Amino acid sequence: MTIANKLAREELVNMVPYQSARRLHSSNGDMQSKTWLNANEASGSGTYQVNSNNINRYPDFQPENLINAYRDYCGVSTDNIRAENILATRGADEGIELLIRTFCRAYQDKVLICPPTYGMYAISAENHGVDTIKVPLTDKLSLDLAGLKQQVDQAKVVFLCSPGNPTGNLLSQQDIQATLELFADSAMVVVDEAYIEFSPEQSVASWLKDYPHLVVLRTLSKAFALAGLRCGFTLANEDVITMLSKVIAPYPISAPVAEIASEALAQNGLRQMNNRVQETGTLRDQLAHWLAQQKWCEQVFASDANFVLFRCESEATKSFIFNTLAQQGILIRDQSKQLSLANCLRISIGSANELSLLKQKIINAITPDKRELV
């Protein structure tokens, strides 16, 4: 029995997903060569300003151009990811939700998270009536393997985040591997790689062939600068993708989204993305360096992503910085309510101008006599 069949909600195993018109007959990117009278669509488009041809038609369940473009992008680092291993979703957030809905029975099964971590795992679980087991990261922000071992058989889905949000650090590949070994046969192990473009060599996507219960989450929202598009990808073995495909909406990716996303994954788009990653890394390191020099800053967390987390010397300083910036229209994120992140704030790496404005505002507010430090 495959791992997906073993761990999925029982009713899904034999369930036949809704046979939408486009699932029964996909266009494979070619709408012209057939006469489509099977989905109650209009025969022509209205006169809207959209980028897409055929907006009067339902999109394919998983648009071929998009899936192939993402496969080619993955292929840069791994040669064993095929179209069958990819599910395009409305952002990685939908991937999280699908995993919980596919593998967890409400009021019975649990997910496991390692806080401080991305908030949506617990929110999606709660939303679905699923409890969350917490195995906090160690004080070095690495996985607590002994703590994880104690929870084997207690959770159906384990969420790891690497690089982590809001901490910014990569998990060690060795620890991820150890976690996969611990939960083999008892849970899906999800590695959320929303920020992996900032250290692509650390991806575990190439491990799919060795671990049937591994799932990798990706998104176009961060390094690809397309958060408004709502497009993410779930990478997994084919039986897992098949199971998730029974739960996802029948037409999850709109035609304009598929078109823009495919463009972002073509050569020119990838070049832009790589440049953005380089520039962001430079600005991030400059900001981290600057923060580390500030007297009121107690700790700057090492970041492999497009943000910097730092700890202020006190609750009062944290609130002062956060509120002063907010009053002047600069919004950063308060992470101080997260486990072990007392007095911590997180700054996303914006443009050079935005970041120098931020530094200026902080200096003006905190040390009016030291403006030359900017």
Nearer to ligand PLP, 7 or 231 (CB): 231
Least distance CB 228 / ligand PLP (angstroms) = 9
The stretches of the chain forming alpha helices (DSSP H) are 3-7, 10-13, 21-24, 64-75, 91-103, 120-127, 145-150, 173-183, 238-247, 255-264, 267-293, 315-327, 352-366
CB 297 within 8 A of CB 366: no
Sheet holding 110-113, edge to edge: 86-89, 232-236, 214-219, 188-192, 157-161, 110-113, 131-134
Residue 118 Cβ, how far from ligand PLP at the closest point, in Å? 4
**Where does this chain bind ligand PLP (CB under 6 A)?**
91-93, 118, 161, 165, 192, 194, 219, 221, 227, 232
CB of 226 to ligand PLP, least distance (A): 9
- Would you say 219 or 262 has its CB closer to ligand PLP? 219
Query: Please, which residue, 182 or 216, has the CB nearer to ligand PLP?
Result: 216
Nearer to ligand PLP, 22 or 90 (CB): 90
Give backbone dihedrals phi and psi of 357, rounded to 5 degrees, phi first. -60, -45
Q: Which is nearer to ligand PLP, 195 or 290 (CB)?
A: 195
Beta carbon nearer to ligand PLP, 91 or 350? 91
3-class secondary-structure state, position 188: strand
Provide the pairing of β-strand 188-192 with 214-219: parallel
Region at 340 (left for phi over 0; alpha for psi -120 to 50; beta for the rest): left
CB 193 → ligand PLP: shortest distance, Å?
8
Least distance (Å) between residue 130 CB and ligand PLP: 18
Report the residue number whose CB is nearest to ligand PLP.
91
Query: Which residues lie closer than 8 Å to 336 by C-beta, 6 or more apart?
Result: 315, 318, 342, 343, 344, 345
